[in-house]
Structure 1
């Protein structure tokens, strides 16, 4: 060590030692302790950042909710005008209509008294003229009709003037069973066959109804169903526009002929006997319908 001391002193004196050494130490500076205030705070989870708003509980009694009608909106007051135009144009404040408001009544408007009275009067009129317990069958009750020969007559006769709003050209005498059958056929057979042609049927042209006689007026023949109040003969159908569908003139020709065939066919079933132009020479100009019943079913020709 004593030998090396002069060498070190010489090196220091000459400036050779530590000439290339760095001015500062390369060792890292000791990091100061992290302050508690600077410590990273824990990040809240995503769910904690969103707090859902719970719906308000629905009241048990909804009738307690009070609906307030909106206050009427008042238009701003117009500025005062001076000069020539003053007082000429004043804006009108429109008041909210009670009919179109939020609390407008939902009840329908009352019908005019005149219409209601007419409807009631029509019902009373129909009720007074109804027979067979059906307001659609209008006429009058006749009661017992005796026959001049054995087998004729009607026990509880009615005289019919219209059925279902369709008039009869002459008041027809019959029993209620026949009147109800005619009504059913008119609704289910006649009306669909004619449809809207000519506005529909307005009147039945009745060729015959009650008549105390034999079949086809033959001597010695059986009593006709006409003599029992069970039959009606129809010669034509008067339409609402004035036109006519005639059995004699229109059977077998064109559109009217097809309507007549449909009416004839639809009567077979409701009526016991249905005869038309193709049955015999006695029925070439009319339909014969009656309510007789046979063991083998309806007789239709």
Structure 2
């Protein structure tokens, strides 16, 4: 009897999934795994899957990016370069200003927009009662191997899939630095840890000073295929 109940449940779930996929059954877009990601919608258990889908679908990624407040400029392809960039964007900022614009793949730009809206600003409001006005970074695209080694695997920076975040400026002008404030036991250190943890919801890899000494002054965030949050 139990086997028949289990089979019925599986068939019901499968039928519902097919109905949603074919459009026969309407569900809210943020609960539909096949609906495009809406950056403005609150994240849920499907968000990670929707972010992952963007890596192999430029059109779907562009659609998701249009739902954000991020200002971007498409860049010319450099397919013949040592580290080719196809479909790269120059991110000029959104609700949070940047210390400078940076190059990004479309998936990185979408992940950054999600991070800014759903992790960074909520953390600032929770800890300080105000928004972050500017994000300071150390750059994104760099045609190099991991840790600048002479040989080995290319860094995610070599494909503009990574960004190094160094600190933040709050609306009242106060600055928070990963290098200076991470080791402390105060409000700023609490904020940085909350930001690091929130970044793990948007990016596939987040490396902080807890990872190793090479990251003592920044958060490395990227949209590679591995998943690390430390």
| TM category, shorter | 0.5 to 0.7
The answer for the alignment partner of 2:192 in structure 1 is 260
The answer for the alignment partner of 1:274 in structure 2 is 206
The answer for the alignment partner of 1:133 in structure 2 is 66
Looking at secondary structure, tell me which structure has more helix per residue: 2
Residue 141 of structure 1: how far off its partner (Å):
1.1
1:36-55 pair list within 5 angstroms: none
Task: Give the TM-score normalised by the residue count of structure 1.
Answer: 0.52
Aligned 8 A contact 2:92 2:101 in 1: yes
CA RMSD for the aligned pairs? Answer: 1.8
Q: C-alpha distance in 2, partners of 1:252/1:173?
A: 30
Aligned 8 A contact 2:104 2:140 in 1: yes
Residue 213 of structure 1: how far off its partner (Å):
0.7
Q: Which runs of 4+ in 1 moved over 2 A?
A: 131-135, 145-149, 196-199
Q: C-alpha distance in 2, partners of 1:135/1:266?
A: 18
Q: C-alpha distance in 2, partners of 1:143/1:132?
A: 18
Stretches of structure 1 that go unaligned for 5 or more consecutive residues are 1-130
2:153 paired residue among 192, 206, 222 = 222
Q: How many pairs are equivalent?
A: 165
Aligned 8 A contact 1:145 1:156 in 2: no
Secondary structure of 1:238's partner?
strand
1:183 paired residue among 88, 91, 113 = 113
Deviates more, 1:191-200 or 1:253-262: 191-200
- Ranked by relative contact order (alpha carbons within 8 Å, sequence separation 6 or more), the top structure is 2
Q: C-alpha distance in 2, partners of 1:177/1:292?
A: 10
Residue 300 of structure 1 pairs with residue 199 of structure 2: no
Name the CA shift for 1:224/1:199 in 2 (closer, same or farther; >3 Å).
same
Aligned 8 A contact 2:99 2:134 in 1: yes
Secondary structure of 1:293's partner?
coil
Secondary structure of 1:145's partner?
coil
Q: C-alpha distance in 1, partners of 2:163/2:69?
A: 18
Secondary structure of 2:142's partner?
coil
Stretches of structure 2 that go unaligned for 5 or more consecutive residues are 1-63
Higher gyration radius (CA): 1
1:49-88 pair list within 5 angstroms: none
